[in-house]
Structure 1
Amino acid sequence: MVRLYTDDLSIAYDDRLIVKELSVEIPDQKITTIIGPNGCGKSTLLKAITRIISHQSGSVVLDGKNVAKENTKQLAKKMAILPQTPESASGLTVGELVSYGRFPYQTGFGRLSKKDFEVIEWALQVTGTSEFKYSPVDALSGGQRQRVWIAMALAQETEIIFLDEPTTYLDMAHQLEVLELLQKLNQDEKRTIVMVLHDLNQAARFADYIIALKEGEIVKAGSCHEVITQEVLQDVFNINAEIGVDPRTNKPMCITYNLLKGD
């Protein structure tokens, strides 16, 4: 049984249609990456699935229920999203930021319960950010901040986590650190991870399932071996790519490429 899918989903900004009657299934307890050129609808799709923005037609279905009709707090217990450029209020400590993940579970005056504090400590520990608990978020490096935001998403105790370009602005080491953390969460905690990535080799290395978008439509969806091919990359990115095999993972990798030019 597929827990999360879209059915003929169309999303528009003003009069411009960004995503066109898109139907896609998200594999449960797997890592899914969404790739495609700038402006093709990747981030828009994530926002619509998580109800940050509304859609024009079609539906998003989670556990047999239409997401658009789901109670906000109940939905926040099932799905968490880390936006592309998250911003926190100036002066917040790491512990305070992570505690915001417990909002869907708070009642009355919003005081944190013993269970809330236990989950916060667990999220800090899993992401390796416990030592920063009392430090201002603004004082951390980019990689440390990204791990803290992931800790906040984990504190929501959702089974599905969406991330919009989680490696943006990070150096190579910190990119790998974040992606390995997400992989560990998937393997150890059975979290379903859905993320937008620009780096094709990172997408191939870490994903179980890849969705390639172009102009709001799916060009190809499947395993990395099915999607990271010369034909698909030519169609999606207008490039002539040389595809090899990663000697460490045996997964396909883009070795080099040229931009295809029209006649």
Structure 2
Amino acid sequence: MILTTKDLNIAYGDNLVVKDLNIDIPEHKTTIIIGANGSGKSTMLKTISRIIPYQSGKIILNGNDISNFDTKELAKKLSILPQSQEIADGLTVGELVSYGRFPYQSSLGRLSEHDYQVINWALKVTGTDVFKYRLIDSLSGGQRQRVWIAMALAQETETIFLDEPTTYLDLAHQLEVLKLLDNLNKKQARTIVMVLHDLNQAARFADYIIAMKSGKVIKAGKPEAVISAEVLKEIFNIEAIIGQDPLTGKPMCISYNIAEGADKNEKEKYSDYTNAVSNF
């Protein structure tokens, strides 16, 4: 395991939002965190990347307590792409990606020859080298997201955290970003940890899934163990029909209904459809 939490407690003021959290993030795998809004997914991600503090417990990275790392040292080990990013007007793609070299810069703040080599590599591997001299504001949502991933890659970290990297993107751009991350994991051996809302995307691209509810882990494991009718009912309060993705063989949520409060006709339709899928 590359990262582990032990009895982690996270609070906003007096409100404890994550309690006694114990998770293991496997090395060189893609881990995806799922759960309803307010379940603590993003809070957990920000905490284990040390963006926000925690009240008690431990976060262990590569065998060392994360609190023992100074900021630049930690930034050489993990990078994070938050859900929303703010950039200064007039910044080019190349300039933004160069910010990923901050942990390695001296007090003079000058880029070395190696820095430029890493920046060009990050641009190339994400397919954003053709945009190097374009303004960030001129890019589409999918292109811009790839540039942010390039900046994270320029940090040369073995672990990359992403908070809902496909938000606000259309289906084609969502798939483009997820395939890029999958490629980085498979070919660059990067450990990828991200929050996703789309269950089928999570099942398709994850090696390991953590399902959360009310600040607690309800189930963690391979997609086949987590994307099940029982788990989804517990974390989302839905009755889900689970099938198999014909392209990947992974579990797939075909349809779902609200577990409580559904009228009789809807429940009968659900039951008939469930039987049909089972027989198929």
Distance 1:55 1:111 in 2: 34
Q: TM-score, normalized by length of structure 1?
A: 0.98
SS of the counterpart of 1:151? helix
How far 1:69 sits from its partner (Å)? 2.1
Counterpart of 1:54 in structure 2 is 53
> Which amino acid letter does the alignment assign opposite residue 239 of structure 1?
I
State the one-letter code of the partner of 1:230.
A
Q: RMSD in angstroms over aligned alpha carbons?
A: 0.8
SS of the aligned residue for 1:88 comes to coil
Deviations, residues 96-136 of structure 1 (Å, cap 9, x unaligned): 00000000000031100000000000000000000110111
Residues in 2 aligned to 1:56 and 1:257: alpha-carbon distance in whole angstroms: 37
Normalization by structure 2: what TM-score?
A: 0.93
Provide the residue aligned with 2:230 in structure 1: 231
Structure 1, gaps ≥5 residues long: none
Following the alignment from structure 1 to structure 2, what is the Cα–Cα distance between the partners of residues 91 and 59?
Answer: 41
Structure number, greater radius of gyration: 2
- The Cα of 1:191 is off from its aligned counterpart by 0.0
Aligned mates of 2:129, 2:2 — CA distance in 1: 33
Q: State how many pairs are aligned.
A: 262
Tell me which amino acid in the other structure corresponds to 2:231: V
Aligned to 2:266: none
- The secondary structure found in structure 2 opposite 1:112 is coil
- The match for 1:115 is 114
Give the match for residue 151 of structure 1. 150
| d(CA) in 2 for partners of 1:139, 1:59 | 42
Give the equivalent residue in structure 2 for 1:221.
220
Q: CA deviation at 1:86?
A: 1.1
| Inter-partner Cα distance in structure 2 for 1:143 and 1:154 | 17
- The yes-or-no answer on 1:206 pairing with 2:205 is yes
Aligned to 2:41: 42
For 1:195, what is the secondary structure of its paired residue? Answer: strand
Offset, 1:68: 1.6
Quote the Cα distance in structure 2 between the aligned partners of 1:68 and 1:86: 25
Q: SS of the counterpart of 2:23?
A: strand
Letter in 2 for 1:43: S
What are the superposed Cα offsets for residues 11-63 of structure 1, whole Å, 9 maximum, x if unpaired? 00111111111000000000000000001100000100010000001011111
Q: Which amino acid aligns with 1:27?
A: P
* 1:33 corresponds to: 32
Distance 1:179 1:236 in 2: 24
The more displaced of 95-104 and 58-67 is 58-67
> What amino acid does structure 1 have at the position aligned with 2:254?
I
How far apart, CA to CA, are the structure 2 residues paired with 1:248 and 1:188? 21
Q: Which runs of 5+ in 2 are unaligned?
A: 263-280
State the 1:71 CA deviation: 1.1
Q: Which moved more, 1:159-168 or 1:2-11?
A: 2-11
What's the CA shift for 1:163? Answer: 0.2
Structure 1 segments (4+ residues) deviating >3 Å: none
SS at match of 2:241: strand
C-alpha distance in 2 between matches for 1:254 and 1:21: 30
Structure 1 residue 3, shift from structure 2 partner: 2.1
Cα distance in 1 for partners of 2:14, 2:251 equals 39
Deviations along 1:188-228, one digit per CA (max 9) or x if unpaired, are: 00000000000000000000000000000000000000000
CA positional deviation for 1:262: 4.8
Separation in structure 2 between the aligned mates of residue 39 and residue 87 of structure 1, nearest angstrom: 23
